[in-house]
Amino acid sequence: MPTPPDPAVLYPDVAACGSLAAALRTESCLGAVPVTSPDPYPLLHATVASTLPHRAPLQISAWAHERRWSIRGEEPFQGMALIDGRADDLAQVAGAARAWHDGASLEDIHRAAPFVHLTGRFEVLDHDPARLTESEWRSMRQEADEMERGAWQEGYRTLVEVAYAEPALRALYPFTSHWVLRFSSTTRPHLTIVGPCLTANGDGTYGVGRGFITQDLGRFTTPHEAVALAVSRLPSALGPVALGG
């Protein structure tokens, strides 16, 4: 990978202000909203706190190889993104930061700054584990639906939908690693893995395995067969999902 250019070359306007935080503060929409940049990389990073306690500070990062900024807004209990996005215009980034700081709804943040992408997760103020599970399923289904269309992607999307349609799996907290679908009896930040993992393969088959990225329990031609086997392998008497804190 080529060495990235000096940030001052890509962002001379930011360098002239001394930091990304200072450059953002020049945008009129931010007003007196507090913005900070870390000492090691002041031209590349900034954070904007929210007035809402259930939102972590919005993270703003400059790209290293081209002039662009990314944002990520998380809920602090699990550290999962509620919004993200990328923009070429610092004024648009400032608009998103202002809305995040002011406590605008996620939908209103997107309306204020259309580059903002809603991840599908919704805010669960009381950390109710059932709602956190519902939120994570919603985000996973949206992510699968937003993927580029291809044979593997379609297989993965179908696998997620078939798993979600199964009540025993829908009641568990879903997560993925390397696009392997797995399940937990607790929410993040501390997962408790239960049952097998499910995999969509590039050849149109579906795998079930006992370990990470294994298919030792079988490969099937339909996702329904794979999901049925996964359900049969769940521990008995699983209770409601609990907080993983």
- Cα 242 to its chain centre, rounded Å, is 21
The amino acid that residue 147 corresponds to is M
Q: Which residues contact 146 (CB under 8 A, 6 or more apart)?
A: none
pLDDT at 1: 67
- Torsion sign across C-alpha atoms 245, 61, 179, 213: negative
Instruction: Find out whether 160 and 169 touch, Cβ atoms under 8 Å.
Output: no
Axis-axis angle for helices 151-165, 129-146 (nearest 10) = 160
Q: What is the pTM of this model?
A: 0.94
Q: Give the DSSP letter of residue 240.
A: -
Six-digit token string for 130: 């059932």
CA gap 20, 24 in Å, rounded: 6
At residue 100, the pLDDT reads 98
Q: Which contiguous run of DSSP H or E holds residue 107?
A: helix 106-112
**Per-residue pLDDT tens for 185-236?**
999 999 999 999 999 999 999 999 998 788 999 999 999 999 999 999 999 9
Q: What per-residue confidence (pLDDT) applies to 6?
A: 92
Beta bridge partners of 244: 189
Q: pLDDT 10s per residue in the chain (245 long)?
A: 678 889 999 999 999 999 999 999 999 999 999 999 999 999 999 999 999 999 999 999 999 999 999 999 999 999 999 999 999 999 999 999 999 999 999 999 999 999 999 999 999 999 999 999 999 999 999 999 999 989 999 999 999 999 999 999 999 999 999 999 999 999 999 999 999 999 999 999 999 999 878 899 999 999 999 999 999 999 998 999 999 98
Residues 192 and 181: their CA atoms lie apart, in Å, by 14
Given a contact cutoff of 8 angstroms between Cβ atoms, the answer to whether 173 and 183 are in contact is yes
**Distance (Å, whole) CA 83 – CA 200:** 27
